[in-house]
């Protein structure tokens, strides 16, 4: 059996395992109780993820991982999106994958065993923008921009100004010189905050003179968000179709009305092209292709646009109850609105993809080579 066939078999088993756990642990009722502060679903799921090896999916064996790469991470993020799973999975998985690609051996040996064991969460920038922290004489002071993730003892990855340009600092929140201040979001399933530093000593400074490190971060972040969007959009669209089949008006199910059939079809017409772009981005990232950032940026823009459209229309298709707290629609709409902002606004990402295409063309790379 070829290696690719083994990976396919492993991925199928992984999908089934993740789906089984999430269907049992993160159903609609449990998710609503979490929203109402009646359970610790995020903590329970994190413990399950650690015990079952989900956190190690993308890492190499040398770092204690399962070496399933971006295809394994794609499966996981889609499943978490489908479930509307709460917790800091995106920032932690993105932070770990990014560090595995840009950090030195010393830092990896210090952090990755703790991460794989479920003892460490990462907080990462919601979007890359202006530098908020300054490094002087090896210490950091100031307040970061918004970070996704943010337990009190997390390791934060923050953009900083360093000698000779920009870079990233890896800082462990210690509650003294580096404090995570929680931020309240409209999406209650995702933790966020800002890192306040007062002469904090970073675990590491990662220089980024040519922007390659930031590009690597963007590829990882946009790919994860795109997968979450696709999974979540599929979930709420399917749930809405099921509701229309059950809801009877004027003596017949709403799903039999042609106008509503067309609107349901439109939901999946939005999702399917976004899925195709995401599949292409996952393939490009898995091959470490030079066009990976372009595809990842396009995939996130398409997927989050589709998710917002689908989530908003599903509220309408549910009728008056779609606006109520008891139904799932508002949970997924809030997730869609947040996802739209993560990794950067979609207009910016499409401009970035256009710049990547232009740079490739200037280097003599044909569009056929990029699409291959």
Model pLDDT for residues 149-178, shown as the tens digit of each residue = 988 789 999 999 876 678 999 999 999 999
Q: CATH 1.20.140.10 region(s) of the chain?
A: 212-371
Assess whether pLDDT exceeds 60 at residue 350.
yes
Output the pLDDT for position 234.
Answer: 98
Of the candidates 80, 59, 55, which has an alpha carbon nearest to the alpha carbon of residue 69?
59
Q: CATH 2.40.110.10 region(s) of the chain?
A: 121-209
Phi–psi pair at 141, nearest 5 degrees: -140, 150
Output the pLDDT for position 102.
Answer: 98
Average pLDDT over the chain reads: 93
Of the candidates 332, 296, 295, 297, which has an alpha carbon nearest to the alpha carbon of residue 313?
332
The half-sphere exposure of 160 on its side-chain side, counting CA atoms within 13 A, is 29
The answer to whether 69 touches 217, Cβ cutoff 8 Å, is no
Distance between CA 28 and CA 31 in Å, rounded? 5
Rounded average pLDDT over 102-111: 98
Output the pLDDT for position 247.
Answer: 92
Distance between CA 354 and CA 298 in Å, rounded? 9
Q: Per the CATH hierarchy, to which homologous superfamily does domain 1-119 belong?
A: Acyl-CoA dehydrogenase/oxidase, N-terminal domain (1.10.540.10)
Q: Would you tell me how many other CB atoms lie within 10 Å of the CB of residue 157?
A: 26
The structure tokens 């209650």 sit at 188
Phi–psi pair at 365, nearest 5 degrees: -85, 125
Q: What is the CA radius of gyration of the chain?
A: 21
Assess whether pLDDT exceeds 60 at residue 372.
no
Assess whether pLDDT exceeds 80 at residue 368.
no
> Can you give the chain as a three-state secondary structure string?
CCHHHHHHHHHHHHHHHHHHHHHHHCCHHHHHHHHCCCCCHHHHHHHHHHHCCHHHCCCCHHHCCCCCHHHHHHHHHHHHHHHCCCCCHHHHHHHHHHHHHHCCHHHHHHHHHHHHCCCCCEEEECCCCCCCEEEECCEEEEECCCEECCCCCCEEEEEEEECCEEEEEEEECCCCCEEEEECCCCCCCCCEEEEEEEEECCCEEEECCCCHHHHHHHHHHHHHHHHHHHHHHHHHHHHHHHHHHHCEECCEEHHHCHHHHHHHHHHHHHHHHHHHHHHHHHHHHHCCCCCHHHHHHHHHHHHHHHHHHHHHHHHHHCHHHHHCCCCCHHHHHHHHHHHHHCCCCHHHHHHHHHHHHHHHHHCCCCHHHHHC
Output the pLDDT for position 4.
Answer: 56
Please report how the helices 105-116 and 89-102 are oriented relative to each other, as an axis angle in degrees rounded to 10: 150
CATH number of 212-371: 1.20.140.10
Count Cβ neighbours within 10 Å for each residue of 343-365 and write b for 16 or more, e otherwise.
bbebeebbebbeebbeebeeeee
Q: CATH 1.10.540.10 region(s) of the chain?
A: 1-119
Please determine, looking at this structure, whether the domain spanning 121-209 carries the CATH number 3.20.20.105.
no
pLDDT for 207-265, tens place per residue? 998 999 999 999 999 999 999 999 999 999 999 999 999 998 888 898 988 999 999 99
Distance between CA 8 and CA 10 in Å, rounded? 5
Q: What are the Cα distances from residue 287, in Å, to 69, 241, 284, 292, 342?
A: 10, 37, 5, 8, 24
């Amino acid at each position: 059996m070829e290696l690719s066939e083994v990976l396919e078999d492993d991925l199928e088993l992984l999908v089934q395992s993740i789906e089984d756990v999430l269907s049992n642990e993160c159903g609609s009722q449990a998710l609503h109780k979490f929203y109402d502060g009646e359970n610790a679903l995020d903590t329970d799921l994190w413990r399950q993820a650690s015990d079952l090896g989900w956190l190690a999916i993308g890492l190499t064996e040398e770092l204690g991982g399962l070496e399933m790469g971006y295809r394994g991470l794609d499966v996981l993020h889609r499943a978490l999106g489908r479930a509307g799973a709460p917790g800091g999975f995106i920032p932690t998985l993105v932070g770990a994958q990014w560090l595995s690609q840009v950090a030195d051996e010393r830092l990896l040996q210090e952090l990755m065993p703790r991460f794989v064991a479920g003892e460490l969460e990462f907080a990462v920038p919601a979007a890359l923008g202006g530098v908020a922290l300054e490094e002087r004489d090896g210490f950091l002071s100031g307040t970061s921009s918004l970070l996704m993730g943010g337990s009190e003892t997390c390791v934060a990855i923050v953009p900083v100004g360093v000698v000779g340009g920009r870079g990233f600092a890896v800082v462990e929140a210690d509650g003294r010189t580096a404090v995570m201040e929680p931020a309240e979001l409209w999406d209650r399933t995702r933790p966020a905050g800002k890192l306040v530093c007062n002469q904090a000593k970073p675990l590491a400074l990662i220089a980024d003179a040519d922007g390659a490190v930031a590009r690597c971060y963007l590829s990882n972040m946009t790919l994860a968000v795109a997968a979450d969007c696709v999974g979540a959009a599929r979930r709420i669209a399917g749930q809405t179709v099921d509701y229309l089949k059950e809801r009877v008006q004027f003596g017949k199910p709403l799903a039999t009305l042609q106008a509503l059939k067309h609107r349901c079809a439109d939901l999946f017409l939005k999702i399917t092209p976004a899925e195709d772009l995401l599949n292409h981005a996952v393939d490009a990232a898995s091959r470490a292709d030079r066009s990976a950032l372009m595809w990842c940026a396009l995939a996130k823009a398409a997927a989050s646009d589709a998710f917002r459209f689908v989530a908003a229309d599903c509220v309408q298709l549910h009728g008056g109850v779609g606006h109520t707290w008891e139904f799932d629609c508002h949970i997924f709409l809030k997730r869609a609105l947040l996802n739209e902002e993560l990794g950067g606004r979609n207009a910016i990402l499409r401009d970035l993809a256009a710049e990547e295409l232009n740079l490739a063309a200037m280097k003599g790379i044909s569009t056929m080579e990029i699409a291959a």
